[in-house]
Structure 1
């Protein structure tokens, strides 16, 4: 892989287009661009505020979770004296959670949503997930920038450990994409998958220490919840915002789960491809 960066640009482009999946993205980049642009525009088409709706919801969310919780409700994080510590704890958890949830929610019905395009065109169906990833990352980066902006304005210390949020979000991205791809195929054959996922994720939300400090849980409960692959991801994100260097090794478990999801998604897709085309 390191040899790729030493190649001239034409040779580098040619080498990339020969890679699995990556080559499909390059060949159908026009389609990817068109779907991505349509997804972004569809969120504010016909609205008075237009593209501002990309920013207004995260602005309102950051305001609620920082000013309201810290100043009005006086929520405090045990063991940390700063008035905005709990707000940062909450924002870090929600940043990770929202990225995963958006990837799964947008991906689970992707094949059904693009049924006409899939039937009429011959292309790798996995490139349909690229726009989902781009839009989800855009929303997450807007939220992250707003959180960082609040930290600057409020005088909350910005520790060097904040850099660790990037590998955490990378693992969240991989897990959300892999799980979404698996659910997208299952949803073609079992239409109840979408409703089941909505209910399931409500339970997972409360099985993950996002709105409550993990310290209030008994050791037995903490041990049980540690099997939740989101548990170490959210904990690592919160640690990075609170100035504690997270244990990067703890990301190995959710990364392994994401790889398993991706392998299952690819296997199921390939084995059921013919039937999938008939069902959509």
Structure 2
């Protein structure tokens, strides 16, 4: 693993330049250019907030704020969106860049890092847009927001580790990518993003607690809505799972990388 990390460090400029090139290509021939990186998430966050707080008037018990559910939903969507984007793009990244892999020699693990870096930048911009919407509703930041980087790290580790494994499997069996589209949809509804876990029947609540994404999403919801810090004991298992999966993905990648290009 040390050798892999050293090779990635040597190609750090290649990774960063690839991330910048990806964003530059996304907004090529656009008058507003990179400004769309802020306007798009800001519009999305505003629509959620206005519809849920002003039209549907959905409320959360014990919180006297008509925008509470909108804040809850946007917090959960932000956390889930980071996870889902890394998973979706990592699953197909080796196939998408198959021509590059065959023509240029570089550490193949750079590709998931480029995907992860791009997703993280999108996520930070979304959080900035959400913060603007929160201010509009008078929901001011608290010190609990400082815990969000911990949530980002755990989600990225978990998604990166799982994404690399799925990306490798998808090279050798393209059915993996199709199946994951369905699995992610089911996984989303087994994660308390749209609904409150307290509203679920006890028999389903016990199953939801087995979901490693639930405590990670709760970090965002607790910090952004309730202004509370996560319970350390509740993060023990997600931290072990995320870290273990991240390390395991490096090991399995080294075992499979020799046959990767041939399979493409």
Calculate the aligned-residue CA RMSD, in Å.
Answer: 1.9
Corresponding residue for 1:255?
A: 239
Partner of 1:274: 258
1:84 aligns with one of 67, 73, 76: 67
Q: Which runs of 4+ in 1 moved over 6 A?
A: none
For residue 72 of structure 2, give the secondary structure of its aligned residue in structure 1: helix
Gaps of 5+ in 2: none
> Structure 2 length as normaliser, TM-score?
0.92
CA shift for structure 1 position 259: 2.7
Contact 2:8 2:109 in 1 (8 A): no
Alignment match of 2:136 (pick from 147, 153, 166): 153
- Cα distance in 2 for partners of 1:20, 1:97 equals 32
CA shift, 1:274, in A, is 2.6
Post-superposition offset of 1:19:
5.1
Q: How many residues align?
A: 263
1:40 aligns with 2:23: yes
The alpha-carbon deviation at position 163 of structure 1 amounts to 1.5
Give the TM-score taking structure 1 as reference length: 0.87
Question: 1:30-76: per-residue Cα shift (whole Å, max 9, x none)?
Answer: 42133212221232224454323322221121112212210111111
Please give the alpha-carbon distance, in whole angstroms, between the structure 2 residues aligned to 1:219 and 1:78.
18
CA distance in 1, matches of 2:16, 2:143: 35
C-alpha contact 1:21 1:127 (8 A) present in aligned 2: no
Hey, what's the Cα distance between the residues in 1 that align with 2:176 and 2:209?
25
Q: Is 1:228 the counterpart of 2:211 in the alignment? A: yes
The structure with the largest alpha-carbon Rg is 1
The 10-residue stretch of structure 1 (128-137 or 24-33) with the greater mean CA deviation from structure 2: 24-33
Unaligned segments of structure 1, at least 5 residues:
1-17
